[in-house]
Chains A and B, each alone.
Chain A
Amino acid sequence: MKEIKLKGLNETIYTDTCPNGLQVYMWVKKDVNTFYGTLSVKYGSIYSNFKIGNKIYHTPHGVAHFLEHVKFNEDKDTTAHDYFFKMGADTNAFTTFNYTNYQVLGSTNPKDNIIHLLDFVQNDYFTKNIITNEKGIITEEAKMGEDDPYTVMLFKHLDNLFNNNEHKYLITGNKEDIKDITLEDIKLVFDNFYHPENMFLVVTGNFNPYEIMEAVRENQNNKLFSKYNNPQRIIAKENKKVRVAKEELNINVTNKKIKIGIKIAKDTFKGYDDLHIRILLSLILRASFGTTSDFKDYLLEKELISNLGYINEIFDDYVIIMFTIDSNYPEEVIKLFQDKLNNLEVTEKTFNRIKNANIASLILDFEDVEVVNGIIQTEILNYGDIIDNLKEIYENITYKDIKDFMKYLDVSNQSILVLKPLE
């Protein structure tokens, strides 16, 4: 087993790979009562179209999420919930755009719980009856989303930003998609994506990593898996321009909201890897639009806004920046945003303060078993490996790096969504 030392953080990640390809990552914290195991499958809602060799497959939207729901059935009368309930452990799962994650959180018998996590996720029990029963439940979940204005806003905005890219579709699928999902779709996806080579296990908390690794290896060696077909997601060709530049919509909000989305082709940032794009962009956004920024302070003081938040993501070949603003003066605020975006500036003093605060956060992150588990998942999914020198990377970023990066920041390709209360 390999030990990855996280430089400057005094933390160690244990890692190993099973002969069948399952990767395992572990972080030990001896003074807690709990352990947290997550099994991630690199298959999420954006994988509706894929190919194996030359054969192309299309599935309805929402299959990843549907499969996550029915995965808990272990046989006719048993679910994974029954097992973990008996063990005094908690289990759950979620589906994102790019992966599906199954979890167990417990305080005793980490080995048995982790092994059962592997067993139920890798078990192929699906029936027509299960699929039929689950449709009602998932339809109600999708309707809950329709009642949540933040979900409606987010996906409407993504739909306007993207022309064809799968990030524009609901993770659950809509009611029609859910109706269309069949047992065959579920089996097709399970057989091809739920393979150890396409999964990774992360265990954090209080346990013996050598004992866990031995048990996992033995468990995987005792299972038969067919050859990994290495299915490839088909990424729809995406026009660089946003689909809809501006739209107004009446939905169930009580006050007006604005969403400003910026879509930048990733290849604009020549010479920057994904990690540096994320770090540098976060620093710039925080300095320019965060609570310590003059711009946000001005908008609040003039009572033009009551809230302002932002996120930045990399979706396939695009960097997406999304602002969500609560404001009753959309036109004025949008104008001020355009001025600000076209004249971004970060002072050296601000840069140093934010950089130091972020470094302090890195130290604090390694305190909570769930947070650390999430960090490991994100690094594996985004970068394919553990970043062992993240603190160093932050420390080495200079003010000049920020200035240089800002030259590439083209904010012209925007999609603006204004949401108003129902009339």
Chain B
Amino acid sequence: MEYKKINCNSYNIHTIKTDKFKTVRMEIIFSREVKKEEMPIFTFLSDIMSDSSKDYQRRKDIAIRLEELYKATFYGATNKVGNLFTISFILEFIAPQYINEPDYLKNVLKFPFEVINNPRVKNKEFDLTNYNIVKKRIIEEIESVKESSDKLAIINALEKMDSTSPSSYKVLGDKEDIEKITPQSLYDAYLDLFNHSNCDIFLIGDINMDECVQIIKDNFKNHVIKLSKPRIIVNNKLRKKVLKVVENSNFVQSTLVMIYNIKSLDKLMKDATFHVFNYLLGSGGISSKLYKNLRVDNSLCYSLRSLYLKYDELLLIEVSLDDSNIKKAEKLIKKSLNEMINGDYTEEVIKDAKKNLIFSLKMGCDNNVSILNNYVFNYFDNLPLLEERIKLIENVQKEDLIKCGKALSINTIYVQKSLEKDE
């Protein structure tokens, strides 16, 4: 694997050359700091920009062109990680050596730039038909969250924790945020995207990278000087007294969400140790403490989640279960955490957990998206590369895991109560 960063003044091209994959992936990433009011409009924008352009006026036309390019895929996406907001345009296509067509690489690589450089705009407004289609789709997506008990509970719990924290901001926003967006304001956002964002292009695959860089340079002109990279960590406030919230729902199951702050861990602990800690606690599936205490020993639930929100410095535990078992589950979660803090696990279990995490990282080395993402976060946050992370995981010690447990401080206990009382 060979990584190169090419400075093109107003943007960087990062190339990762590997012969491991038949597909080539390119991500054009615009990045900026999270701002609550900006995320819905940029999400709308990324959607409409990948749905249409001057030459391809409808999603149908784009889809036909992608089929002609041997089933390439192209889409826009927005993402929030901690305090970093990204607006990405992603292209994936079959490597040219499998296609008997001389100009294929040039044609496929220039396609996303043709689309994003030429939005379907007239009189400084996005086309109304495209606008209406995307608006409807996004509003329905926002509303559909209410259909998912666990997603809804997690969103509400984070909002109750602190509605002013970027950790609680929603990428899609609310229905009212989308209603406020107009074809004109979308065009303003389009200009803003190019004028006030950093831009990085990541490319991974088995292709001639010099040729690709030239094609990109020929097709993408971005005149904005690069800005400094935003600080990615969100400093969530600690609470002296735990916040307890109970809300009613229409669901058959109740959902319990417990949010903990993670206090003052150094980078190594965040990048490696806490992953092992969380694996032992709950993310490691049925062999973990939470699964053992809640599912295996007490049959309280089918599945649960222990989410390490590294860049929000939060740990979030979520479980759906019968309403009558909420109190018991809360106690068992606290018991599991106490066991973690007290070091109630053998060296052998730690060794096995590390082995499992290393396996996950090795799996990541087989996937072009994981490799590319690792380079993205290596660039934004100096996240060690996969091979280096494997070594860091190998060196994690029990006393470090205990420190992770001690760094937790309960913030919020949120209960989404079921509608019906089960027999």
Contacts and interface: CB of A to CB of B under 8 A. Distances in A.
A361 B251 contact: no
A72 B291 CA distance: 15
A353 B67 contact: yes
22 contacts: A33-B363, A72-B286, A79-B286, A88-B352, A88-B359, A90-B359, A90-B360, A133-B299, A140-B302, A141-B302, A143-B322, A147-B252, A252-B251, A254-B147, A255-B140, A292-B64, A297-B58, A301-B133, A356-B67, A360-B98, A363-B94, A363-B98
A221 interface: no
B137 A85 contact: no
Interface in B349-404: 352-353, 355-356, 358-360, 362-363, 365-366
A293 interface: yes
Contacts of A422: 250
Given A89-B356, A147-B251, A360-B98, 7 more contacts: A88-B352, A90-B285, A107-B363, A140-B301, A291-B59, A353-B68, A360-B94
Contacts of A361: 71
A71 B144 CA distance: 36
Interface in B115-167: 129, 132-133, 136-137, 140, 143-144, 146-149
Interface of B: 19-23, 58-60, 63-64, 67-68, 70-71, 94, 98-99, 129, 132-133, 136-137, 140, 143-144, 146-149, 250-253, 284-287, 295, 299-303, 320-322, 352-353, 355-356, 358-360, 362-363, 365-366, 422
A296 B366 CA distance: 36
Interface string A95-107: 0000000000111
B56 to A, nearest CB: 12
Given A88-B356, A146-B252, A147-B251, A306 B137 contact: yes
A326 interface: yes
Contacts of A254: 140, 143-144, 146-147
A367 B355 contact: no
B23 A367 contact: yes
Interface in A321-380: 326, 353-354, 356-358, 360-361, 363-364, 366-367, 369
B46 to A, nearest CB: 18
Contacts of A137: 295, 299, 301-302
Contact of A136 (B59, B132, B286, B299): B299
A86 B350 CA distance: 10
Contacts of A81: 285-287
B216 to A, nearest CB: 23
Q: Which 3 A-B pairs have the closest CB atoms?
A: A136-B299, A88-B355, A141-B302
Interface in A127-156: 133-138, 140-141, 143-144, 146-149
Contacts of A353: 64, 67-68
Given A105-B363, A306-B140, A297 B70 contact: no
Interface in A145-178: 146-149
Interface size class, chain A:
35 or more
A385 B285 CA distance: 34
B36 to A, nearest CB: 23
Given A85-B287, A291-B59, A297-B59, A357 B133 contact: no
B356 A297 contact: no
A55 to B, nearest CB: 34
Interface in A267-321: 290-294, 296-297, 300-301, 303, 306-307
B59 A303 contact: no
B22 A140 contact: no
A411 interface: no
A44 B43 CA distance: 42
Given A254-B140, A254-B146, A326-B140, A360 B359 contact: no
A211 interface: no
Nearest to B349: A85
A255 B145 CA distance: 11
A367 B137 contact: no
A297 B23 CA distance: 29
A140 B71 contact: no
B147 A252 contact: yes
B366 A34 contact: yes
A253 interface: yes
B366 A138 contact: no
Contact of B352 (A86, A252, A294): A86
Nearest to B70: A360
Nearest to A353: B67
B143 A255 contact: yes
Nearest to B23: A364
B284 to A, nearest CB: 8
A392 interface: no
B136 A306 contact: yes
Contacts of B59: 291, 297, 300
Contact of A149 (B20, B23, B143, B147): B147
A144 B22 contact: no
B129 A301 contact: yes
B75 to A, nearest CB: 11
Q: Of residues A143, A353, A367, which shows the largest number of chain B Cβ atoms within 10 Å of its Cβ? A: A143
B147 A303 contact: no
A296 B60 contact: yes
A32 interface: yes
Nearest to A81: B286
A294 B362 contact: no
A357 to B, nearest CB: 4
A34 B361 CA distance: 11
